[in-house]
A and B are shown apart, each in its own frame.
Chain A
Amino acid sequence: MKIEGRYLFQGTVQQVWDLLTDPRALQHCTPGCKKLEAVGNDEYRATLEIGVGPIRGSYEGKICMTEKEAPRRYKLLVEGSAAVGFVRGEGILTFQEQEGGETVIIVNGDATVGGLVAGVGQRLVEGVAKQTMGQFFKCMQGQLAAHKSGGKTEI
């Protein structure tokens, strides 16, 4: 399943890059991320509590940043697996500087849900994937705003 998105940030490319590559921000803004442990090389072991409504599970997996070209693009991978299946989202984040100190992040990626959860929940997979990505970037936007206004981020 293709995932695409375009998100506007009120900050410079460098500021947005710094935020989006900060593991604390990643943990805070990845919906349901309960644990994030560095294992080196921009790779983190993660525990993700994800789902919708009563369909909820704890997925063990990892979050990785690869193919980094600071501050222009990197590849973000989030994956986790549980008894009911696995989720895997992979996307290239491209950072584009806009006029007036704004930055747009363009996301181009691919999400896979596998196992029982895919076969049973197919009706919801696309919507929930979109929603989850939306939550992630909305949270990041909030973080940036809070940071810029001098307030403390929630991290």
Chain B
Amino acid sequence: MKPARFDYYDPRSLEEALELLQKHQADSKILAGGQSLMPLLNMRLARPKVIVDINRIDGLNSVKSWNGGISIGARVNQRALEREKQVAERLPILREAAQHIGHPQIRSRGTVCGSLAHADPAAELPALALALDAEFVATGPKGARTIPSDSFFVSYFTTSLEPNEILTEVRFPGSPKGMAWSFLEISRRHGDFALAGVVAGLAVDPGRRSITGARLVCFGVGPTPVRVKEAEEALIGQPAGEKSFHAAAEIVSRGVDPDNDVHASADYRRSVAGTLVRRALLQVWQKLGGK
């Protein structure tokens, strides 16, 4: 289990990196934390001719405040989500969810942007990005463009990034006022990719009677993380509680289109996605002071 040969570049500047990508296009692959790419290289399932290692580029390694939320550079590792104070203050759900990403020994190398660009349908960060309306800064030869999260994830391991672009930054806006969040996933072992998972956001009116905002994103149940708008809409205006959560869960179970694999069938994933939605909503409701 040893990688095939490739040409290796570790540019010192973003410009240099972009030139390399421009030159080699789809023959090249960006190496950031490598926690998804390296196993594929070792198994020779990924066979890029050129590796562009972005770890020595100046910059791209900070977590900054942005629009009430935070922005995270391409080189920032996943441990930053647990370490950085701003994350805990502004988007505690990111910190909570980060503990589900692999293990500490993986999060030390694995980057936030790397996981997003890799777009594993069962990974946590893509679902969080979709739920939190993150925007993606893709830098290419002609400069930077911003991709909204609802058009970033295309399919299994596929995003709308072009081969000559680098995801230089991801920006998570501040959570809408009054919105609380919950993150739940199930896996057969701690730290594994999820069989199914959910990011749930909920806001209720000050009298805490009816739901004023909802956000439901499931993952591990299809080619990309899925936002189930129909279920969100069904929640709006309803009284917060088991009954409406259950109804939303039913919509989710009907609305997702998962695959079969050796660990879970499509039916199982559908059903569990619903269960997780119900449980996550109850959890958020509790965070909001509900019973």
Identify the A interface with B (CB < 8 A): 52-57, 83-84, 116-117, 120-128, 130-131
Residues of A within 8 A of B260 (CB): 126
Interface of A is mostly: helix
**How big is the B interface, by class?**
20 to 34
Q: Tell me whether A124 and B43 are in contact (CB under 8 A).
A: no
Q: In the complex, what residues of A have CB within 8 A of residue B118's CB? A: 53-54
* Residues on A with beta carbons closer than 8 Å to the beta carbon of B119: 53
CB distance from B76 to the nearest CB of A (A): 21
Could you say which residues of chain A place their CB within 8 Å of the CB of B193? 123
Interface stretch among B79-87, B150-158, B180-188?
B150-158
User: Given contacts A122-B261, A122-B262, A127-B259, are A57 and B156 in contact (CB under 8 A)?
Assistant: no
Question: B29, B155, B259, B262: which has the most chain A beta carbons within 10 Å?
Answer: B259
The smallest beta-carbon distance between A19 and chain B, in angstroms, is: 25
Q: Does B246 belong to the interface (CB within 8 Å)? A: no
7 A-B pairs with CB atoms under 8 Å apart are A52-B157, A53-B156, A56-B47, A121-B45, A123-B259, A126-B259, A127-B222
A residues less than 8 Å from B60 (CB atoms): none
For the complex, give the distance between the alpha carbons of A130 and B259 in Å.
Answer: 9
Please tell me if the beta carbons of A54 and B259 are within 8 angstroms of each other in the complex.
no
- Report if B202 contacts A (CB, 8 A): no
Cross-interface CB contact of A53 among B43, B47, B157, B263, cutoff 8 Å = B157
Q: Which residues of B contact A (CB under 8 A)?
A: 29, 36-37, 40, 43-48, 118-119, 121-122, 155-158, 193, 222-223, 259-263
Set of chain A residues within 8 Å of B223, measured between Cβ atoms: 127, 131
**A131 and B46 contact, Cβ closer than 8 Å, known pairs A53-B118, A54-B40:** no
With beta carbons under 8 angstroms apart, the residue of A57, A122, A124, A125 that contacts B47 is A57
CB neighbours (8 Å) of B121 from chain A are: 127
CB distance from B195 to the nearest CB of A (A): 10
A135 to chain B minimum Cβ distance, whole angstroms, is 10
B262 and A131 contacting across the interface, CB-CB below 8 Å: no
B-side contacts of A57, CB under 8 Å: 45, 47
Q: Is the CB of B156 within 8 A of A54?
A: no
Task: For B40, list chain A residues within 8 Å (CB).
Answer: 54-55
- Chain A residue numbers with a CB within 8 Å of B36 are 54
Return A51 CB to nearest CB of chain B, in Å: 8
Whether B158 contacts A53 by the Cβ 8 Å rule is yes
Inter-chain CA distance A127–B157, complex, in Å, is 12
CB neighbours (8 Å) of B43 from chain A are: 84, 116, 120
- Report the bound CA distance from A53 to B116 in whole Å: 12
- The residue from A52, A120, A123, A125 contacting B158, defined by CB atoms under 8 A apart: A52
Residue of A nearest to B44 (CB): A84
Among B45, B46, B155, which residue has its beta carbon within 8 angstroms of that of A116?
B45
Determine whether the beta carbon of B44 is less than 8 Å from that of A56. Answer: no
On whether A84 and B156 interact (CB within 8 A), knowing A54-B29, A122-B262, A123-B261, the answer reads no
